[in-house]
Amino acid sequence: MIHLAAAVAWASVSLGQDQPINLQSLVSDLKIPELSPGEPVAGKRVKQTNPGYEGWDLFHTLYLPVDWEQPAATARRWPVIVEYPGNGGYKNELGDECTGRVEDCKLGYGLSAGKGFIWVCLPFVNPAEKNHSLNWWGNADLTAKYCVQTVKRICEEHGGEPQAVVLTGFSRGAIACNYIGLRNDEIAKMWCAMLPHSHYDGVRRWPYADSDAASAAARLKRLGKRRQLIMHELSFTATRDFLKQHAPSGNFAFTALPYPNHTDEWVLKAIPERDQARAWLTEMVRARR
Protein backbone atom coordinates (compact mmCIF):
# COMPACT_ATOMS: atom_id res chain seq x y z
CA MET A 1 0.00 0.00 0.00
CA ILE A 2 1.33 3.40 -0.95
CA HIS A 3 0.86 5.81 1.91
CA LEU A 4 2.20 9.06 3.28
CA ALA A 5 4.57 8.84 6.23
CA ALA A 6 4.97 12.57 6.65
CA ALA A 7 4.07 15.63 4.64
CA VAL A 8 5.47 18.81 6.11
CA ALA A 9 4.16 22.03 4.65
CA TRP A 10 6.85 24.27 3.18
CA ALA A 11 5.49 27.24 5.13
CA SER A 12 5.81 25.42 8.44
CA VAL A 13 9.61 25.50 8.23
CA SER A 14 10.21 28.72 6.36
CA LEU A 15 9.67 30.86 9.47
CA GLY A 16 7.97 33.48 7.36
CA GLN A 17 10.78 33.69 4.83
CA ASP A 18 10.41 33.37 1.09
CA GLN A 19 12.80 30.40 0.97
CA PRO A 20 12.99 27.27 3.13
CA ILE A 21 15.72 26.96 5.73
CA ASN A 22 19.16 25.78 4.61
CA LEU A 23 19.78 22.55 6.48
CA GLN A 24 23.45 23.47 6.79
CA SER A 25 22.47 26.28 9.17
CA LEU A 26 21.25 23.75 11.75
CA VAL A 27 23.65 22.52 14.43
CA SER A 28 24.55 18.82 14.32
CA ASP A 29 24.08 16.76 17.46
CA LEU A 30 26.02 13.74 16.15
CA LYS A 31 29.51 13.28 14.77
CA ILE A 32 30.54 10.31 12.65
CA PRO A 33 33.28 8.29 14.40
CA GLU A 34 36.67 8.55 12.74
CA LEU A 35 38.09 5.46 11.08
CA SER A 36 40.44 3.61 13.40
CA PRO A 37 43.15 1.05 12.70
CA GLY A 38 42.98 -2.49 13.96
CA GLU A 39 40.21 -5.00 14.48
CA PRO A 40 36.54 -4.10 15.00
CA VAL A 41 35.31 -3.69 18.56
CA ALA A 42 32.29 -2.01 20.12
CA GLY A 43 32.06 1.69 19.31
CA LYS A 44 34.82 1.57 16.68
CA ARG A 45 34.70 2.14 12.90
CA VAL A 46 37.26 0.29 10.80
CA LYS A 47 38.12 -0.60 7.22
CA GLN A 48 37.77 -4.20 6.08
CA THR A 49 38.85 -5.95 2.90
CA ASN A 50 37.02 -9.08 1.85
CA PRO A 51 38.83 -12.29 0.95
CA GLY A 52 39.59 -12.34 -2.76
CA TYR A 53 40.34 -8.62 -2.92
CA GLU A 54 43.80 -8.65 -1.40
CA GLY A 55 46.00 -6.23 -3.31
CA TRP A 56 43.03 -4.13 -4.42
CA ASP A 57 42.42 -0.58 -3.21
CA LEU A 58 38.93 -1.68 -2.21
CA PHE A 59 37.31 -1.88 1.20
CA HIS A 60 34.09 -1.42 3.13
CA THR A 61 33.72 0.27 6.49
CA LEU A 62 32.31 -1.52 9.51
CA TYR A 63 30.99 0.05 12.71
CA LEU A 64 30.03 -2.10 15.68
CA PRO A 65 27.61 -0.32 18.03
CA VAL A 66 28.58 0.71 21.55
CA ASP A 67 26.36 -2.05 22.98
CA TRP A 68 27.89 -4.78 20.79
CA GLU A 69 29.31 -7.97 22.35
CA GLN A 70 31.30 -10.85 20.95
CA PRO A 71 28.86 -13.38 19.43
CA ALA A 72 30.54 -16.17 21.40
CA ALA A 73 29.64 -14.37 24.65
CA THR A 74 25.94 -13.76 23.95
CA ALA A 75 22.96 -15.16 22.09
CA ARG A 76 21.98 -11.66 21.01
CA ARG A 77 22.02 -10.76 17.31
CA TRP A 78 22.25 -7.21 15.97
CA PRO A 79 20.25 -5.77 13.09
CA VAL A 80 22.44 -4.49 10.25
CA ILE A 81 22.24 -1.25 8.27
CA VAL A 82 23.92 -1.54 4.86
CA GLU A 83 24.65 1.76 3.12
CA TYR A 84 25.81 2.94 -0.29
CA PRO A 85 27.34 6.42 -0.89
CA GLY A 86 26.31 9.07 -3.42
CA ASN A 87 28.28 10.13 -6.47
CA GLY A 88 31.55 11.95 -5.87
CA GLY A 89 32.49 15.43 -6.98
CA TYR A 90 29.14 16.96 -6.06
CA LYS A 91 28.85 20.47 -4.63
CA ASN A 92 26.14 23.11 -4.73
CA GLU A 93 25.52 26.69 -3.69
CA LEU A 94 23.86 25.61 -0.43
CA GLY A 95 27.10 24.14 0.90
CA ASP A 96 26.14 20.54 0.22
CA GLU A 97 28.83 18.21 -1.07
CA CYS A 98 29.42 14.52 -1.62
CA THR A 99 32.82 12.89 -2.06
CA GLY A 100 31.44 9.54 -3.22
CA ARG A 101 33.76 7.78 -0.79
CA VAL A 102 32.69 4.81 1.30
CA GLU A 103 34.19 6.31 4.45
CA ASP A 104 32.09 9.49 4.14
CA CYS A 105 28.68 7.81 4.45
CA LYS A 106 26.40 9.11 7.22
CA LEU A 107 22.92 7.63 7.09
CA GLY A 108 23.48 4.47 9.09
CA TYR A 109 25.13 6.23 11.98
CA GLY A 110 22.56 9.00 12.14
CA LEU A 111 19.65 6.57 11.96
CA SER A 112 21.02 4.45 14.80
CA ALA A 113 22.94 7.08 16.82
CA GLY A 114 25.66 4.42 17.08
CA LYS A 115 23.59 2.03 19.19
CA GLY A 116 21.70 -1.18 18.55
CA PHE A 117 22.72 -1.63 14.89
CA ILE A 118 25.78 -2.85 13.07
CA TRP A 119 26.54 -0.35 10.30
CA VAL A 120 28.42 -1.21 7.11
CA CYS A 121 29.15 1.04 4.10
CA LEU A 122 29.86 -0.70 0.81
CA PRO A 123 31.86 0.15 -2.32
CA PHE A 124 30.94 0.09 -5.99
CA VAL A 125 33.45 -2.38 -7.38
CA ASN A 126 35.59 -1.11 -10.26
CA PRO A 127 37.59 -4.11 -11.56
CA ALA A 128 39.44 -2.06 -14.18
CA GLU A 129 41.18 -0.01 -11.51
CA LYS A 130 40.76 -2.53 -8.68
CA ASN A 131 39.12 0.09 -6.51
CA HIS A 132 35.87 1.77 -5.54
CA SER A 133 34.13 3.80 -8.23
CA LEU A 134 33.46 7.34 -7.07
CA ASN A 135 30.80 7.73 -9.76
CA TRP A 136 28.08 5.27 -10.63
CA TRP A 137 28.47 1.54 -10.43
CA GLY A 138 31.85 0.28 -11.56
CA ASN A 139 30.71 -3.23 -12.41
CA ALA A 140 27.15 -3.59 -11.10
CA ASP A 141 27.20 -7.40 -10.99
CA LEU A 142 30.49 -7.49 -9.08
CA THR A 143 29.18 -4.78 -6.77
CA ALA A 144 26.15 -6.93 -5.96
CA LYS A 145 28.40 -9.96 -5.43
CA TYR A 146 30.63 -7.98 -3.03
CA CYS A 147 27.52 -6.92 -1.12
CA VAL A 148 26.27 -10.48 -0.66
CA GLN A 149 29.73 -11.61 0.47
CA THR A 150 30.01 -8.77 2.98
CA VAL A 151 26.57 -9.17 4.54
CA LYS A 152 27.09 -12.90 5.00
CA ARG A 153 30.50 -12.24 6.54
CA ILE A 154 29.16 -9.68 9.00
CA CYS A 155 26.35 -11.95 10.10
CA GLU A 156 28.71 -14.90 10.55
CA GLU A 157 31.65 -13.10 12.18
CA HIS A 158 30.04 -10.24 14.08
CA GLY A 159 26.60 -11.43 15.11
CA GLY A 160 24.50 -9.68 12.52
CA GLU A 161 20.86 -10.80 12.29
CA PRO A 162 20.23 -12.14 8.76
CA GLN A 163 16.50 -11.51 9.08
CA ALA A 164 16.97 -7.85 10.03
CA VAL A 165 19.21 -6.33 7.34
CA VAL A 166 18.13 -2.91 6.04
CA LEU A 167 19.53 -1.28 2.89
CA THR A 168 19.88 2.49 2.63
CA GLY A 169 21.76 5.08 0.61
CA PHE A 170 21.86 8.71 -0.46
CA SER A 171 21.50 9.95 -4.08
CA ARG A 172 23.45 7.38 -6.16
CA GLY A 173 23.14 5.18 -3.08
CA ALA A 174 19.37 5.67 -3.04
CA ILE A 175 19.17 4.50 -6.65
CA ALA A 176 21.43 1.59 -5.66
CA CYS A 177 18.82 0.31 -3.22
CA ASN A 178 16.95 -1.11 -6.21
CA TYR A 179 19.56 -1.01 -8.98
CA ILE A 180 22.06 -3.06 -6.93
CA GLY A 181 19.94 -4.32 -4.03
CA LEU A 182 17.33 -5.90 -6.33
CA ARG A 183 19.75 -6.86 -9.10
CA ASN A 184 19.19 -10.60 -8.79
CA ASP A 185 17.26 -13.02 -6.61
CA GLU A 186 20.21 -13.78 -4.34
CA ILE A 187 20.85 -10.22 -3.25
CA ALA A 188 17.17 -9.21 -3.26
CA LYS A 189 16.21 -11.76 -0.61
CA MET A 190 18.66 -10.33 1.96
CA TRP A 191 16.69 -7.21 2.84
CA CYS A 192 13.92 -6.83 5.36
CA ALA A 193 13.35 -3.20 4.29
CA MET A 194 14.96 -0.27 2.46
CA LEU A 195 15.33 3.47 3.04
CA PRO A 196 16.44 5.34 -0.11
CA HIS A 197 17.05 9.06 0.38
CA SER A 198 16.94 11.48 -2.57
CA HIS A 199 16.43 9.83 -5.99
CA TYR A 200 14.89 6.51 -6.92
CA ASP A 201 15.66 3.85 -9.52
CA GLY A 202 13.67 4.38 -12.72
CA VAL A 203 12.19 7.81 -12.02
CA ARG A 204 14.52 9.45 -14.55
CA ARG A 205 17.08 8.32 -17.10
CA TRP A 206 20.75 8.37 -16.14
CA PRO A 207 23.93 7.78 -18.20
CA TYR A 208 24.22 4.04 -17.60
CA ALA A 209 22.60 0.88 -18.89
CA ASP A 210 19.08 -0.10 -17.81
CA SER A 211 18.23 3.17 -16.08
CA ASP A 212 14.89 3.27 -17.94
CA ALA A 213 11.56 2.85 -16.19
CA ALA A 214 10.82 -0.59 -17.66
CA SER A 215 14.13 -2.04 -16.46
CA ALA A 216 13.64 -0.49 -13.03
CA ALA A 217 10.12 -1.89 -12.82
CA ALA A 218 11.47 -5.38 -13.56
CA ARG A 219 13.96 -5.04 -10.69
CA LEU A 220 11.25 -3.70 -8.41
CA LYS A 221 9.26 -6.92 -8.74
CA ARG A 222 11.91 -8.61 -6.59
CA LEU A 223 10.98 -6.37 -3.66
CA GLY A 224 7.61 -8.01 -3.21
CA LYS A 225 5.68 -6.77 -0.17
CA ARG A 226 8.70 -5.65 1.81
CA ARG A 227 8.58 -2.05 2.92
CA GLN A 228 10.45 1.02 1.77
CA LEU A 229 10.55 4.45 3.38
CA ILE A 230 11.29 6.79 0.49
CA MET A 231 12.68 10.18 1.49
CA HIS A 232 13.47 13.23 -0.61
CA GLU A 233 14.17 16.90 -0.18
CA LEU A 234 11.02 19.02 -0.55
CA SER A 235 8.92 16.63 -2.66
CA PHE A 236 8.52 12.92 -3.34
CA THR A 237 5.82 13.39 -5.99
CA ALA A 238 7.84 12.08 -8.95
CA THR A 239 8.73 8.86 -7.13
CA ARG A 240 5.21 8.36 -5.83
CA ASP A 241 3.81 8.76 -9.34
CA PHE A 242 6.35 6.26 -10.72
CA LEU A 243 5.37 3.70 -8.08
CA LYS A 244 1.65 4.23 -8.59
CA GLN A 245 2.21 3.23 -12.21
CA HIS A 246 4.74 0.43 -11.80
CA ALA A 247 4.12 -1.03 -8.33
CA PRO A 248 0.63 0.05 -7.18
CA SER A 249 0.34 -2.76 -4.64
CA GLY A 250 3.79 -2.14 -3.12
CA ASN A 251 4.34 -1.27 0.52
CA PHE A 252 5.78 2.24 0.35
CA ALA A 253 5.85 5.19 2.72
CA PHE A 254 7.08 8.67 1.88
CA THR A 255 8.66 11.55 3.77
CA ALA A 256 9.52 14.95 2.30
CA LEU A 257 12.26 16.78 4.12
CA PRO A 258 11.39 20.50 4.32
CA TYR A 259 14.86 21.61 3.23
CA PRO A 260 16.19 22.23 -0.29
CA ASN A 261 19.52 20.54 0.45
CA HIS A 262 20.70 17.54 -1.56
CA THR A 263 22.65 15.88 1.24
CA ASP A 264 22.68 13.09 3.80
CA GLU A 265 23.63 15.55 6.57
CA TRP A 266 20.03 15.60 7.85
CA VAL A 267 20.61 12.45 9.92
CA LEU A 268 23.12 14.37 12.04
CA LYS A 269 20.49 16.99 12.98
CA ALA A 270 17.77 16.80 15.65
CA ILE A 271 14.83 17.20 13.25
CA PRO A 272 11.39 15.51 13.30
CA GLU A 273 12.08 13.64 10.06
CA ARG A 274 15.01 11.87 11.67
CA ASP A 275 12.78 10.82 14.56
CA GLN A 276 10.25 9.45 12.07
CA ALA A 277 12.92 7.53 10.17
CA ARG A 278 14.30 6.06 13.38
CA ALA A 279 10.84 4.97 14.51
CA TRP A 280 10.20 3.36 11.12
CA LEU A 281 13.56 1.57 11.25
CA THR A 282 12.85 0.21 14.72
CA GLU A 283 9.47 -1.04 13.56
CA MET A 284 11.01 -2.79 10.55
CA VAL A 285 13.58 -4.78 12.47
CA ARG A 286 11.22 -5.60 15.33
CA ALA A 287 8.76 -7.13 12.89
CA ARG A 288 11.41 -9.43 11.41
CA ARG A 289 13.11 -10.70 14.58
Of 122, 246, 127, 253, nearest to 190 (Cα)?
122
User: Quick one: pLDDT at residue 287?
Assistant: 79
Q: What is the CATH number of the domain that holds 242?
A: 3.40.50.1820
User: Quick one: pLDDT at residue 15?
Assistant: 34
User: Quick one: pLDDT at residue 4?
Assistant: 41
Residue ranges making up the domain that contains 279: 2-288
User: Quick one: pLDDT at residue 13?
Assistant: 33
Per-residue pLDDT of the chain (289 residues; tens, 9 = 90+): 454 443 332 222 333 346 789 999 999 999 999 999 999 999 999 999 999 999 999 999 999 999 999 988 888 999 999 999 999 999 999 999 999 999 999 999 999 999 999 999 999 999 999 999 999 999 999 999 999 999 999 999 999 999 999 999 999 999 999 999 999 999 999 999 999 999 999 999 999 999 999 999 999 999 999 999 999 999 999 999 999 999 999 999 999 999 999 999 999 999 999 999 999 999 998 877 6
User: Quick one: pLDDT at residue 88?
Assistant: 98
User: Quick one: pLDDT at residue 167?
Assistant: 98
Where is 243: in which H helix or E strand? helix 237-246
The pTM of the whole model exceeds 0.75:
yes
Count: domains in the chain: 1
Where is 285: in which H helix or E strand? helix 272-288
User: Quick one: pLDDT at residue 75?
Assistant: 87
End-to-end CA gap in the chain: 22
